[in-house]
Amino acid sequence: MPIVKKGNKNTKSLAYALLVRHILEYGAACWYPYRECQLSALDRVRNKAAKFSHHSGGSDWESLAQRRKKTRMCALYKAYTGERAWKAIGDRLQAPSYLTL
């Protein structure tokens, strides 16, 4: 990782996006972290990466909470429309039998 340490802001941002962010978001659409301790742990990692990349606390990156929300909406849409791997979940989203009399 010495190359990343010596890299510029764009190199460090790219390293975060490719090497770290996908791990933080893995499975979040299914296990959706809701406890404060889980959310703060994820945000701490993101904030550390932002500080490393931008040499300050602020960054123009989208928050992990926003990304999780988009991921969940995409997953729900895929399940509802029956897209390949999501078909089994989509079948469960159909109207309950008591509504289709």
**Which one is predicted more confidently, 56 or 22?**
22
Q: By C-alpha distance, which of 36, 63, 37 is closest to 50?
A: 63
**Which one is predicted more confidently, 77 or 87?**
77
pTM for this prediction = 0.61
Maximum Cα interatomic distance, the chain, rounded to a whole number of Å: 66
Report pLDDT for 19: 84
Q: List the domain boundaries for the chain.
A: 2-99
User: Residue 36 and residue 52: Cα distance in Å, rounded?
Assistant: 24
